[in-house]
Amino acid sequence: MPPAVASPSPWRRRRRLVFQSVFQTDVSQPTPQVTPCARFPDQGQPFGGHGRSVTAGSDHGLAHAPTTTDLSSSSQSTIAATSRSDLYAPQPLFPSLVAAGNDQVAYDRAWHVVTARIALPSSATADDSFGTLPPDSQLYPASQQVVGSDQEFYDALALVVHASNLLPRATHTEDIIAWHAQQVRAHFAQHVIPLLSGCVEEEGDEEGGEAEVEAARGVGRSGTKRKSNYYERHIVIVMSSIRTLEAALRLYFYGLSLLVRGFGRLVNGSASEPAAAEAELLAARFRRDIRALVGNSASEDLMRSVRVVLVRLSSTILGMQTTDDGAAESAPPIRPSPPTDEDVKALAARQRLHELVEQLYNVGLAGERFQVLFAEIMDSMMSKFVNGAYAGVWTLSSTSSRSFSAAANTISQRANLSQQSTSPCILGLSDWIENHFARLSFEVLSRVSSDPSTSPVTLSDVKTYQSLALGRLAALRIAELFDIALAWPRSRCALDDLRSTITSTARRLQLTSNFSRTLQTRLLHPGCSTLEILRTYIAIIRTFHALDPSKVLLSHIEPSLQLYLCQREDAVRVVVTGLLASVDEIRDARKAKEFAERQHQSKTPKGDAESGPLLTPTISRRGNYRTPGPTRRSQASTPDPVVKDLPDTAVAAFGGRATANKLVELAFLLNDPTQTRRAASEDDELDWNDMSWVPDPVDAGANYKRPKSEDVIGTLISALGSEETFIKEFSSVVAGRLLGESARFDQELRVLDLLKRRFGEAALQNCDVMIRDVQDSRRVDAAIKRQREKAMGGNRATETPLRTPTVKKGTEAEEFEAQHQARILSRLFWPDLEREHFLLPTPIVEYQQWYEHGYETLKSKRKLTWLNQLGQARVELELEDRTVVVDCSTIEATVIYAFQDPDATRGNDGPARRSVDELYNQLQLDEDLISEALTFWVGKGVLRRVAPGTFVVVETLASSAAAESTSGDAEAAAVASPSEGDGEAETSGGASPRKQDSGSGLSAKEKERRAMYWQYVKGMLTNASASMPLAQVSMMMKMLVPDGFPWSGEELQEFLGEKVTAGDLEVVGGKYRLVRK
Amino acid sequence: MEDSQNAAPGSVSANKLGGARKAADPGQNAAKRLQTELMMLMTSPAPGVSAFPSADGNLLSWRATIEGPDDTPYAGLTFKLSFEFPSNYPYAPPTVIYRTPIYHPNVDFSGRICLDILKDKWTAAYNIQTVLLSLQSLLGEPNNSSPLNGEAAELWEKDPALFKSKVMDRHKDLEDD
SS (H, E, C) A920-948: HHHHCCCHHHHHHHHHHHHHHCCEEEEEC
Kindly report the number of other CB atoms within 10 A of residue B138's CB atom: 19
**Identity at A294, one-letter amino acid code:** V
**Cβ atoms of A173 and A164 closer than 8 Å:** yes
Whole-number pLDDT of residue A149: 64
How many angstroms separate the CA of residue B45 from the nearest CA in chain A? 8
Burial class of residue A132, CB neighbours in 10 A (0-12, 13-18, 19+):
exposed
Residue A1075 pLDDT > 80, yes or no?
yes
Q: What is the 3-state secondary structure (H, E, C) of A853-872?
A: HHHHHHCCCCCCCCCHHHCE
Given a contact cutoff of 8 angstroms between Cβ atoms, the answer to whether A129 and A191 are in contact is: no
* Mean predicted confidence (pLDDT) in A823-841: 75
pLDDT given for residue A960 in this prediction: 52
A1020 touches B: beta carbon within 8 Å? yes
In whole angstroms, give the CA distance from residue A839 to residue A869.
10
Residue in chain A closest to B38 (alpha carbons) equals A1040
In the predicted model, what is the mean pLDDT of residues A623-635?
A: 35
Q: Please indicate if any CB of chain B lies within 8 Å of the CB of A1033.
A: no
CA distance A240 to A127: 12
* ipTM of the shown complex: 0.81
Inter-chain residue contact A1032 with B36, CB threshold 8 Å: no
Question: Across A477-481, A494-498, A784-788, which has the greatest mean pLDDT?
Answer: A477-481
Residue that wins the pLDDT comparison between A739 and B155: B155
Instruction: Measure the CA–CA gap between A158 and A553, rounded to whole angstroms.
Output: 78
The per-residue pLDDT for A169 is 66
- Between chain A and chain B, the number of residue pairs with CB atoms below 8 A apart is 58
The answer to whether A338 and A424 have CB atoms below 8 angstroms apart is no
Q: Nearest Cα to A68, choosing from A28, A109, A37, A101? A: A109
Q: What is the dihedral of CA A525, A528, A532, A537, to 10 degrees?
A: -10
Q: Is A702 on the interface with B (CB under 8 A)?
A: no
**Which residues partner with A311 through β-bridges?**
none
**Closest partner CB to A1023 (pick from B43, B52, B59):** B52
Residue B97 confidence (pLDDT): 92
Residues A978 and A927: their CA atoms lie apart, in Å, by 26
pLDDT band at B82 (very low <50, low <70, confident <90, very high): very high
CA distance linking residue A397 with residue A601, whole number of Å = 11
pLDDT of residue A596: 66
- Residue numbers in B near A1041 (CB within 8 A): 39
A612: left (phi over 0), alpha (psi -120 to 50) or beta: beta
Please confirm, yes or no, whether B153 is among the known catalytic residues. Answer: no
Nearest in space to B107 (alpha carbons), one of B52, B167, B162, B64: B167
Q: How many residues does chain B have?
A: 177
| Chain B partners within 8 Å of A1036 (Cβ) | 53, 55, 57
In whole angstroms, give the CA distance from residue B15 to residue B155.
61
- pLDDT exceeds cutoff 60 at A702: yes
Q: Is A794 left (phi over 0), alpha (psi -120 to 50) or beta?
A: alpha
Nearest to B136 by CA among B36, B62, B35, B64: B64
Q: What is the DSSP letter of A568?
A: -
* Separation between Cα atoms, residue A898 and residue A1058, nearest integer Å: 40
Task: Find out whether B81 and B66 touch, Cβ atoms under 8 Å.
Answer: yes
Local structure of residue A696 (DSSP, 8 states): P
What is the pLDDT at residue A446? Answer: 81
Asked whether the predicted pLDDT for residue A805 surpasses 50, the reply is no
More confident residue, A625 or B172: B172
**Among chain B residues, CA nearest to A1010:** B43
Average pLDDT over residues A209-213: 39
Q: Does A489 touch chain B (CB under 8 A)?
A: no
Catalogue the E-assigned strands of A890-1012: 913-915, 943-947, 950-953
Helix axes A226-270 and A344-363, enclosed angle (nearest 10) = 40
Sheet holding A1071-1074, edge to edge: A1027-1029, A1071-1074, A1065-1068
CA distance A594 to A466: 38
Residue A957 is inside which H or E element, if any?
helix A957-967
Q: How many Cα atoms within 13 Å fall on the side-chain side of residue A971?
A: 21
pLDDT at A211: 39
When mean pLDDT is compared across A45-49, A504-508, A654-658, A972-976, the lowest value belongs to A972-976
Q: Which chain B positions have a beta carbon within 8 Å of A724's beta carbon?
A: none
CB-based burial of residue A307 (10 Å sphere; 0-12 exposed, 13-18 middle, 19+ buried)?
Answer: middle
- What class has domain B24-170? alpha beta
Q: What are the φ and ψ backbone dihedral angles of B83, each rounded to 5 degrees?
A: -115, 125
Which of B34, B51, B114, B118 is flagged as catalytic? B114
| Identity of the residue in A1019, A1027, A1035 whose CB atom sits nearest the CB atom of B50 | A1019
Distance from the Cα of A1033 to chain B's closest Cα (Å) equals 9
Q: Which residue type does A1059 have?
A: K
Q: Check pLDDT > 50 for residue A392.
A: yes
A1010 — contact with chain B (CB < 8 Å)? no
**How sure is the predictor about B64, in pLDDT bands with cuts at 50, 70 and 90?**
very high
Q: What is the 8-class DSSP label of residue A320? A: P
Q: Delimit the domains of chain B by residue range.
A: 24-170
Residue A777 CA to residue A820 CA, distance in Å, equals: 12
CB-based contact B63 A1024, cutoff 8 Å: yes
Q: What is the pLDDT of residue A1041?
A: 80
Interface contact A1027-B45, CB threshold 8 A: no
What three-state secondary structure class fits A1064?
A: coil
Q: Is A1023 on the interface with B (CB under 8 A)?
A: yes
Residue A720, classed as helix, strand or coil, is coil
Handedness of CA A144, A147, A150, A154 (dihedral sign): positive
Tell me: pLDDT of A126 over 60: no
Asked if the model's pLDDT at residue A986 lies above 80, the reply is no
Strand partners, A873: A888
In whole angstroms, give the CA distance from residue A343 to residue A318.
11
Which of B44, B52, B61 would you mutate first to test chain A, the one with the most A CBs within 10 A?
A: B52
Beta-carbon contacts of A455 under 8 Å, excluding residues fewer than 6 positions away, are: A442, A446
Helix (H/G/I), strand (E/B), else coil: A749: helix
Which of A267, A293, A301 has the alpha carbon at shortest distance from A199? A301
Long-range Cβ contact pairs of A442-450 (< 8 A, separation 24 or more) = A443/A350, A443/A353, A443/A354, A443/A357, A444/A353, A444/A357, A444/A374, A445/A371, A445/A374, A447/A354, A447/A357, A447/A358, A447/A361, A447/A366, A448/A357, A448/A360, A448/A361, A448/A366, A448/A370, A448/A371
The 3-state secondary structure of A97-161 reads: HHHHHHHHHHHHHHHHHHHHHHCCCCCCCHHHHHHHCHHHHCCCCCCCHHHHHHHHHHHHHHHHH
* CB proximity list for A460: less than 8 A, separation 6 or greater: none
Instruction: For residue B53, list chain A residues with Cβ-Cβ distance below 8 A.
Output: 1024, 1036, 1040
DSSP label of A877:
E
Chain B residues with CB-CB distance to A1018 below 8 A: 50
Give the chain A residue whose CA is nearest to the CA of B32: A1042
How far from A1021 is each of A185, A194, A210, B58, CA to CA, in Å? 85, 82, 86, 16
- What whole-number distance in Å separates Cα of residue A127 and Cα of residue A791? 131
Q: What percent of chain B has pLDDT over 70?
A: 83
Quote the CA–CA distance of B97 and B80 in Å, as a whole number.
9
For residues B109 and A258, which has the higher predicted lDDT (pLDDT)? B109
Chain A residue closest in CA terms to B176: A1026
Dihedral sign of CA atoms A313, A319, A323, A326 in order: positive
Burial class (CB in 10 A: 0-12, 13-18, 19+), A97: middle
pLDDT given for residue A418 in this prediction: 41
Residue pair A231/A219 in contact (Cβ under 8 Å)? The answer is no
How many CA within 13 A on the CB side of residue A158? 22
How far is residue B111's CA from residue A938's CA, in Å, rounded to a whole number? 71
Q: Tell which wins on pLDDT, A861 or B82.
A: B82
Region A410-435: mean pLDDT is 61
- H or E element, residue A1067: strand A1065-1068
- Residue A742: its pLDDT value, please? 62
Interface test with A, best of B6, B40, B42 (most A CBs within 10 A): B42
CB contact under 8 A, B35 and A1024: no
What's the CA gap between B125 and A949, in Å, rounded?
A: 57
Cis amide prior to A489 (ω within 30 degrees): yes
Q: What mean pLDDT comes out for the span A352-366? A: 81
Collect all residues of chain A within an 8 Å Cβ-Cβ radius of residue B54: 1023-1025
Q: Is the pLDDT of residue A518 over 80?
A: yes
The rounded distance, in Å, linking the Cα atoms of A161 and A285 is: 17
The fraction of chain A above a pLDDT of 70, given in percent, is 57
β-pairing verdict for A1027-1029 and A943-947: unpaired
Q: What does pLDDT average to over chain A? A: 66
**pLDDT single digits (tens) B106-161:** 998 888 998 888 888 888 888 899 999 999 999 888 888 888 888 888 888 888 88
DSSP 3-state of A1071: strand
